[in-house]
Amino acid sequence: MDKNELFKTAALAKLKLDDEEADKLAAEVSAMLDNFSAMMEADVEGLEPTTQTLQKENRTRSDSTGSSNLSNQLLDRVPEREDRFIVIPNVM
Amino acid sequence: MSDIKRWAKALTESADSYKKYVGSWEEKIGSFLQFDPEAAQADSSGQGLLAVIPFGVKDNIAVKGFNMTCGSKILENFDCPYTATAVENLQKAGAVPVGKMNMDEFGMGSSTDNSALAETHNPWDTSRVAGGSSGGSAAAVAAGQVPFALGSDTGGSVRQPASFCGVYGLKPTYGTVSRYGLTAYASSLETIGVCAETAGLTRDVFKAMRGKDIMDNTTVEYKPSGKDDVETVAVLKAGEGDLNVDVLRSYKTSIARLKDLGYKTVEVELPTLKYVVPAYYVIATAEASANLARFNGIRYGLAAQGAETPSALMEETRHSGFGDEVKLRILLGTYVLRSGFQDQFYHRAQKIRTAILNDFNRIFESADALMMPVFPTAAFRHGSSDLTQLQQKAADLYTCSANLAGLPALAVPSTIEEGLPVGVQFMAPAFEEERLFRIAEKLEAVFPAQKPEGYSQEWKA
Amino acid sequence: MKYQSFVGLEIHIQLITETKVFCSCPNNFGDEPNTNVCPVCMGYPGALPSLNEEAVFKALKVSRALNCHINEKAVFERKNYFYPDMPKNYQISQFEFPFGINGYFDLELDDGSVKRIRIHDVHLEEDAGKMIHDAYQSRLDYNRAGTPLLEIVTEPDLLDGREAELFVQQFRQLVRYLEVTDGNMEEGSLRCDANTSINLPGKGLGTKTEVKNLNSSRFVNKALTYEIKRHAKVLDKGDTIVQETRLWDEGSSTTRSMRSKEDSHDYRYFPEPDLPPFRPDAALMARVEEAMIELPNDRKKRYEAELKLTSDQAVFITAEKNTADWFEAVLAAGADASQTAAWLSGDIQKILNKEGKSIEQSPFTPERIKELFDLINSNRISNNIGKDVLQAIFDEDRDPSAIVKEKGLEQVSDTGAVEKVVEEVLAAHRAVVDAIRAGEDKQIGFLMGQLMKATGGKVNPQLAREMIVNKIKRSE
Ligand SMILES: [Mg+2]
Ligand SMILES: [Zn+2]
C-alpha cells in the first residue's frame, strides 16, 4: 500500500499520522495485506458468508424506560462542558 | 475445607497477609493495573457458591468502582460508571472483584507488551511474556494472586496466556456469556472468558456468569445436548513444521495421556486451517475499526488540548491516545471495508468462516471433542527477539478458529518444557462446555497443574 | 422545458415510542440537555444496543402501508463516518436487507388523477444528537441520540417540485394516520431530502443533485423548482451538472453547494455484529395487518361514494385521523352524515380553531353532538339557537339538553303563541306588509328577522313563516 492510500484510509478513520509513523505503518499494513492474499487460494465457491455464529432467534426489548439514570455521572466524565452541554470547537 | 472456600479468607481473616502476598508478586510480574479489594466489595452479595472469593477482571471489562483503561492511554483515567453483566452475575454469586488486570491495548496482541500503561511478566520466568492479550489475568492466577480472573478471548486471548502461564483458560460458546460491559474489539468473535487455577473452578465461574441478557441481544439460551461424557477425541495432526520442538514434545505427551486415560482418539486435519489467520484478522480489524471509532475526545477519556476544529480534536486525541498496534489494526480494518475492497477481503473472509465451521461440524459428527495445540511456542521473550509481531499473529491459527466458529474451547495445563508450562486445548460443539470440563478434570486428577517458584498458599493458613 | 425531470425523496420520520431504539432512555423532546442519556446512547465502551420491539412494529407498519415486500430477514448494519453528534461514530442503520423494499404509494395529483410512486425501501435507524453553534464553539446535547428514525426512500418517479410537495403532504397524512409519528416538519419529526436530475426526453436519468434538510413541503417545491431550472440553464449552456449536495436558502430562495469533502464519503457498511437479524414471524405480521386501519385516501373515497359528502368535506374530514375518527363516532351514535359533515367543517371547526383545541380534547363528545342534532331536527330548537348551544357546550362542558332546558332556549311551536307574536310584528310594520302584498316577497325575510329579534330566536321559523305568508295573503 502506498502512502497516498494510507493517508486516504487514515482520513476515513480520523487518524492523524506523522510522516515517520506513516512510513512504518505503510510497510506493516502492506505486510499484513500480503498475508491476507493467502485467502485468495481458498475455495469459497457456493459458500454463504457467516457474520454471526449462533444468533438465530429474534431479540427485542419491550418499549419501557429503565430505572437508573446515570446522566449526571456521564456528564462528570465529559472533558469540556458548560452546564449540561458538552462543548467542542465550532463545527463551522 | 475445600480449597476454594479457603480463598474466602483473603478478604476476611487473612486480608493483611493476602495483600502482602499479592504485593510481593506484583513487584515481580505486574499483573494488576489496579488492586483494591475494597473498591467494589459492597456490590457483592456476600453469599453463594463463590462467597467472598476474590477475583481479577481484565481491564477491558466494566466494574463500577474501578477504572477501565483497556491498557490504553486514551482511557488512562477513565473511571467506569457501570458494571458488566458477567461481573454482576459473579457478584450475585458472592465473588468480589479485587482488581483490574493488565492487557494488550484493547486486546490487540499476544504478549501484553502492547499495554500502554504497564509491563507484565510471566511468573515462571520474568524475562518472558505472560502471553496476551489477557496476560495480567493468566499471570495473576498462575502466581496465586487470585483463584480466577476474567479475560476476553477474541482470537485466543484467554487460552494462549493460560497456556503460557500454566493455568486453565476457557473461551465459552459465543452468546452464552453476556458481552455487555466488555469493551468491544471484534464483536462477532469475542467472548468474556476465564483463567482459573482448577478445572472445577472454571466450570463454577462459567456457570455463575453465563445467561441470556437483555442488554446483549447476541446472548442465547443455554441448550446443551445432555451428552456430557466424552468417548472419542479427535486429535489435530501437527508435526515439526507446525510446532516448535518443546511444544511438539508436549503435544505428543498430551496425546499419550489421553489414550492412557481410555479415550478413543482419531487423528484429523482441518483443511481450512491455513486460511483462518488472514480471515480472522480481516474480520477482527474490520469490526475493530468501527468499535474504536467512539474514542474521540468528546464524551469521556483523553481529549487533545487546543484543537480548533472538531476534526482536529478527534484526530489529535486518537493520534496521541492510541498505540502503534491499535493504529495498525484500525487502518487495516478501515482499508478492508473500503468500497472496492470489501469483496476481496471482508466478504471472502466471511465465507472462509463458513468453511471452518463446516470443517468443525464434520469432525464433531464422529468425535465428541477435538484436541489441538494452543500456540506453536511456549512463552517467548519480551520484544521481538523470539517472535516478531507478524509471527505472533501467524501463530494465532490454533486459537482463532474457535472464535471464527463460535465454539467453546478450553486450554488445559499439560507439561513443563524447559521450565515453561505448555498447555493444550480442547474444543467441543456449541454449548458442550461440560465435555471440556470433564476431560480436563480427568487429566487434572492424574496430572495436576504445576506452580511456578514462589507460589504459596501459606497466607491462607 | 425541453428536458424531462426526475425527482426522488428521502424522508426521515421520528417514530413515537416511549424509549430510544437501542436503549431504554426516554424518547422525549424538550428535556434539559443530556438528561436522557445512558452508556448505550453515549457510546460508552462496553455498551451494546438492545432493539426496541415497538420501533420494529412501527417500521413494519409503515413498510406494509407503503405496499412493500417485507424482507424475510431484516439486517442492521453499521454506517461508518465521524461526526460529533454521533456518539459511536457509526450509525446503526439498514442497508442491504431493510424491513421493507419495493413498495409504492398512490399519489393523488392536482387534477385528481393518481400516479403510482415506487418506494425503494423503508429502513430503521438511530438519530444523532443535536448541536447548537456559536462563533467559537458548538454545544452538544445527546438527548436525541439513539431515538428511532424511519427512513423512506422513493424511486425518482416524481416529476417536479409540485408533485414532490404533494407527495410529502400525502405521505405525512399517511404516517400520522398510522400513528407512528407526529410528522411535525418544523420541529424535525419529518425531515426531507430531495434529489433531482434532468435530461433530454428518452435519455433516462441525468446527473443528480440533492437538497438536504427541507423542513416544509412548500420548501420542497420551491427548492426543486429552483434546482430543475438551474440544471436546465447549465445544460443549455453546454455545461455539465456537478453531482453534489446542496442547501436551500429560504432568504434568497436559492440553493447553494455544501462544497464539502463529505462528498467523498465511503460509509463502509457492514452487518452490525451486536444485533442478530430480525425475522418478522407470522404472529407479528398478523398484528401489523390488524393495525392496517383504513388509510386516508380510501377513507376519503368512501366518504364521497357512500356517505355522499362533497369532495371538500371529505378532504377536510379525512385530513387528520382524529377528525375522521370523531366524525365516524358521531355517525355511530346515530347522526346523519351530511349534517355531521356540515357542522364539523363549519361551526365546530370554527370554535376549535378559535379556542386552539383538537376535537378529541374538546367537550364535543359524539354523544353531545348527536343530542344537539336531535334537538334541532325535532324542532325543539332552531338551527341558529343550535349554534349558540354548541358554543355553550364548549364553554360549560355540559350536555346540550341541559343547556337548552336551563336557558329556556326551547323553540316556540305552539300555534297560538306564535300567532300572537306574528300579529304584533305585522302591526308594527304595516308599510312592509303592504310592500309584500305588492309582490316584494323578499321583504318576508325582514319580518322574520323582526320576529326572531322579538323572541330571542326561539320561534319555530317554518311555522312563523307560513303564518306570516298566510296572514298577508289571506287579508288580500
Ligand atoms: Mg439515513
Ligand atoms: Zn440511552
- DSSP letters spanning chain A: --HHHHHHHHHHTT----HHHHHHHHHHHHHHHHHHGGGGGS--TTPPP-S-SS--S---B-S---S---HHHHHHT-SSEETTEEEEE---
pLDDT for C260 equals 59
Q: Which ligand is nearest to the CA of C149?
A: 1
The label of the residue with cell 505503510 reads A26
* C384 has a pLDDT exceeding 90: no
Q: Which of B17, B203, B35, B49 is nearest to B9 (CA)?
A: B17
Alpha-carbon distance of C444 to B28, in angstroms, equals 115
Residues 194-253 of chain B whose Cβ lies under 8 A from any Cβ of chain A: 214, 217-218, 220
The DSSP bridge pattern shows strands B264-268 and B232-236 to be parallel
Sheet holding C130-133, edge to edge: A81-82, A85-89, C137-141, C130-133
DSSP reduced 3-state for C3: coil
pLDDT for C264 equals 63
Which CATH code is given to the segment(s) B3-225+401-460?
A: 3.90.1300.10
- Chain B residues touching residue C84 (CB < 8 angstroms): 296, 298, 310, 314
Q: What is the DSSP letter of C403?
A: H
Check CB contact under 8 Å for A50 and B354: yes
What number of helices (H) and strands (E) belong to chain C?
16, 14
Question: What pTM, to 2 d.p., does this model score?
Answer: 0.90
Q: What is the secondary structure of C142-182 as a DSSP string?
A: -SSTT-EEEEEEE-S-B-SHHHHHHHHHHHHHHHHHTTS--
Residues 229-258 of chain C whose Cβ lies under 8 A from any Cβ of chain A: none
**B85–A contact, CB cutoff 8 A:** no
Full set of structural domains in chain A with CATH: 1-42 (1.10.20)
Closest CA of chain C from A63, distance in Å:
6
pLDDT tens digits, one per residue of B91-130 = 999 999 999 999 999 999 999 999 999 999 999 999 999 9
Alpha-carbon distance of C164 to B247, in angstroms, equals 71
pLDDT tens digits, one per residue of C58-113 = 999 999 999 999 999 999 999 999 999 999 999 999 999 999 999 999 999 999 89
What is the H or E stretch that residue B410 is in?
strand B409-417
Please confirm whether the linkage preceding C260 is cis (ω < 30° from 0): no
Q: Return the C-alpha cell found at C312.
A: 371538500
Bigger pLDDT: C415 or C435?
Answer: C435
Q: What is the DSSP letter of B449?
A: P
* B170 has a pLDDT exceeding 80: yes
- Chain C CA closest to residue B338: C268
Domain ranges of chain B: 3-225+401-460
pLDDT tens digits, one per residue of C234-271 = 999 999 999 999 999 989 999 999 865 544 679 999 99
> What is the pLDDT of chain B when averaged over all its residues?
96
pLDDT for C468 equals 85
When pLDDT is averaged across residues B231-243 and rounded to a whole number, the result is 95
* C437 has a pLDDT exceeding 90: no
**Interface pTM (ipTM) of the complex?**
0.97
Rounded alpha-carbon distances, angstroms, from residue B223 to A57, B67, B211, B219, B404: 14, 35, 11, 12, 20
Looking at residue B284, its amino acid is: A
* A92 has a pLDDT exceeding 70: no
Per the CB < 8 A criterion, the answer to whether B184 and C46 are in contact is yes
In this prediction, what percent of chain B has a pLDDT beyond 70? 100
CB proximity list for C425: less than 8 A, separation 6 or greater: C447, C450, C451, C454, C468
Q: How many residues does chain A have?
A: 92
pLDDT tens digits, one per residue of A41-88 = 999 999 999 999 887 889 999 999 987 899 999 999 999 999 999 999
Q: What is the secondary structure of C248-287 as a DSSP string?
A: EETTTTEEEE---GGGG-----EE-TTS--B---HHHHHH
Q: What angle separates helix B324-337 from helix B273-291, to the nearest 10 degrees?
A: 100
Burial of residue B448 (CB within 10 Å: 0-12, 13-18, 19+) is exposed
| Chain C interface, best mutation among A5, A58, A67, A90, by max C CB count within 10 A | A58
Full set of structural domains in chain C with CATH: 4-284 (no CATH), 294-407 (no CATH), 415-474 (1.10.10.410)
If pLDDT is split at 50, 70 and 90, which confidence band does B63 have? very high
pLDDT for A3 equals 87
Check CB contact under 8 Å for B62 and C46: yes
Alpha-carbon distance of B296 to B289, in angstroms, equals 13
The label of the residue with cell 502492506 reads A30
Closest CA of chain C from B187, distance in Å:
6
* C424 has a pLDDT exceeding 90: no
Residues 87-126 of chain C whose Cβ lies under 8 A from any Cβ of chain B: 87-90
Q: Which chains neighbour C (Cβ–Cβ under 8 Å, 3 or more pairs)?
A: A, B
